[in-house]
Amino acid sequence: MSARGYFAVLWKSMSLFSLRILLLVPTGLPVHSQGDSQSDNKVMDNITVRQGETVFLRCAQGDIVTHTAWLNRSSILYAGEDKWSVDPRVSLVTLNQEEFTIKIVNVDMTDEGPYVCAVQTSSRPRTTSVHILVQVPPKIINLSRDLVVNEGSNVTLMCQASGKPEPSISWKLISPSGDLASDDEYLEIQAIPRHRAGTYECTAINEIDADVQTVDITVNYAPSVSEGRDIGVTLGQIGVMECEADAVPEADFEWYKDDRRIFNGFEGMEIENGDSLSKLTFFNVSEGDYGNYTCVALNKLGSANTSFLLYEVIEPTSSTLLQGPRAVQDGSGGVQGMHSPTCLLLLLIALLPLLLRI
Ligand SMILES: *[C@@H]1O[C@H](CO)[C@@H](O)[C@H](O)[C@H]1NC(C)=O
Ligand SMILES: *[C@@H]1O[C@H](CO)[C@@H](O)[C@H](O)[C@H]1NC(C)=O
Ligand SMILES: *[C@@H]1O[C@H](CO)[C@@H](O)[C@H](O)[C@H]1NC(C)=O
Ligand SMILES: *[C@@H]1O[C@H](CO)[C@@H](O)[C@H](O)[C@H]1NC(C)=O
Ligand SMILES: *[C@@H]1O[C@H](CO)[C@@H](O)[C@H](O)[C@H]1NC(C)=O
Ligand SMILES: *[C@@H]1O[C@H](CO)[C@@H](O)[C@H](O)[C@H]1NC(C)=O
Ligand SMILES: *[C@@H]1O[C@H](CO)[C@@H](O)[C@H](O)[C@H]1NC(C)=O
């Protein structure tokens, strides 16, 4: 029978045909176990196709075929040349004595399932069923946002992904170090310490591909400051005090002399604030500058302070040395940096001309 003639017959027998098809393929299952001696049912290998690709469904004809159709579950896609499916992605490729091939372009997840080619020959019905398996690359669909938490909080990161086969999901702390990890959608960090701040990476992976996303965790904590040092400076020299703070968010600095706040722009001094360091500089230390200074570092979580003692160092000039040991004792704080043998030596050298004159 020519394809045209066959087509005409098909139209007439359409309703009968679909009834027969439904009988042949109850609820879309492969008819393998039907045990009908009158039919010849074949199960083909599964077809695995990636989402977005095109799949060809090919069915051998042979014998004298009176009717033929491709079905998706129990709904007819093509009955012979005649398209029943309203889906534009489905089209006829070949229909002749040998084969009946249709194609589905841009395959999607919902296309997964059993497809049946039902053939009615002059002698008996025959079905060929094939299962389409759709593979989908992983895609992270639900990810925790970047977080800012206080130290000690319980933190849970979440990463959910779609894909087929179902992707496996893992978490890793990638920056600063890679030691914290979890093979789960959820990463729970109890009482988060400051060194767990950083960039966390979620990986969703299956046989096809991987999807990777990152989340940043910022851990806030109150400042701590480096221990202040006592600083000896000679009158008229430069005196510098450096106060280093560790804090998130970055600390603000305040400087006090005794209980009095001091500000940038005061005569002869300058306060320079960097990210984690504050520097108090006296360009020309005067008598009144000596004393006890306190650096306070604060952020919204708290504060810390440390004190510096700016003390006078008496330079062993001839004039001070002339006053003898008294001057050295007066600057009691000041001799700390100087070894006594050196003092004696300098004293001798300074006094030598005097001694010689006597
Ligand atoms: C085809 O795929 C279905 C569904 O995943 C599965 O049950 C069946 O065992 C597979 N058959 C073959 C021949 O691989
Ligand atoms: C196959 O049937 C399923 C379920 O009805 C449907 O979602 C899907 O779009 C169909 N695919 C084709 C290619 O007809
Ligand atoms: C993401 O996960 C949250 C918490 O489980 C849930 O409330 C939300 O509906 C999810 N969003 C999406 C798009 O799945
Ligand atoms: C953090 O989790 C632990 C254990 O589940 C719980 O005992 C603790 O109260 C939680 N801390 C906070 C701040 O929620
Ligand atoms: C430092 O201050 C003293 C006293 O005010 C002044 O005599 C001296 O010239 C100053 N030195 C410098 C380098 O500014
Ligand atoms: C400096 O001042 C701080 C704060 O007022 C105080 O705790 C510290 O004992 C003082 N140091 C000296 C050496 O006086
Ligand atoms: C400095 O810190 C101590 C406790 O460490 C606190 O008692 C004091 O009030 C602080 N001083 C300032 C000026 O913040």
pLDDT tens digit string along 258-275? 999 999 888 889 999 998
Determine which residue's CA is closest to atom 10 belonging to ligand 4: 154
Cβ of 91 below 6 Å from ligand 2 = no
Q: Report the pLDDT value the prediction gives residue 92, as an integer from 0 to 100.
A: 97
Does 46 contact ligand 1 (Cβ within 6 A)? yes
Contacts of 210 (CB under 8 A, 6+ apart): 138, 167, 203, 204
Q: Is 203 in the pocket of ligand 7 (CB under 6 A)?
A: no
Q: Let me know if the fold of 3-25+39-136 is the same as that of 144-221.
A: yes
Nearest residue (by CA) to ligand 2, atom 4, is: 110
**Average pLDDT of span 214-243:** 96
Q: Is the CB of 306 under 6 A from ligand 6?
A: no
Nearest CA to ligand 3 atom 9: 142
79 strand-pairing partners: 69, 82
- With 80 as the cut, is the pLDDT of residue 52 above it? yes
Which residue, judged by its Cα, is nearest atom 8 of ligand 5?
A: 236
From the CB of 286, is ligand 5 less than 6 Å away? yes
Q: Which ligand is nearest to the CA of 291?
A: 6
Average pLDDT along the chain: 83
Binned at pLDDT 50, 70 and 90, residue 98 comes out as very high
d(CA 112, CA 117): 16
State percent of the chain over pLDDT 70: 77
CA distances from 92 to 7, 69, 101, 117, 240 (A): 14, 11, 6, 13, 86
- According to the model, what pLDDT value does residue 64 have? 85
How far apart CA 278 and CA 227 sit, in angstroms, is 13
Question: Quick one: average pLDDT of 186-202?
Answer: 95
**Structural fold of domain 226-312:** Immunoglobulin-like (2.60.40)
More confidently predicted of 61 and 33: 61
Task: Please indicate whether residue 131, judged by its CB atom, sits closer than 6 Å to ligand 1.
Answer: yes
Q: How is domain 144-221 classified at the CATH fold level? A: Immunoglobulin-like (2.60.40)
**Residue 152 in this model has a pLDDT that exceeds 50:** yes
Q: Inform me whether the pLDDT recorded for 319 exceeds 90.
A: no
CA distance 131 to 238: 85
Model confidence at 302: pLDDT above 60: yes
Q: Which helix (H) or strand (E) holds 270?
A: strand 269-273
Residue 38: other Cβ atoms inside 10 A? 9
Q: Tell how far the Cα of 47 is from the centroid of ligand 1, in angstroms.
A: 9
User: Which residue is associated with the tokens 């069923």?
Assistant: 129
- Amino acid code (one letter) for 30: P
Q: Which tokens sit at 89?
A: 């992605």
Asked if residue 153 lies in contact with residue 181, where contact means CB atoms within 8 angstroms, the answer is no
Find out whether the beta carbon of 2 lies less than 6 Å from any atom of ligand 2: no
Give residue-wise pLDDT tens across range 344-355: 445 445 555 555
> Positive or negative CA dihedral for 314, 318, 321, 323?
negative
Could you tell me the residue ranges of all domains in the chain? 3-25+39-136, 144-221, 226-312
Which class is 3-25+39-136 in CATH? mainly beta
Contact 237 CB / ligand 5 (< 6 Å): no
Terminal Cα distance for the chain, rounded: 145
Stated as kind and residue range, the H or E segment containing 283 is none
Give the strand order in the sheet containing 231-233. 231-233, 302-312, 291-299, 252-257, 260-262
Cα 38 to Cα 125: distance, rounded to the nearest angstrom: 7
Give me 88's structure tokens.
């534009």
* Measured distance CA(64)–CA(352) in Å, rounded: 134
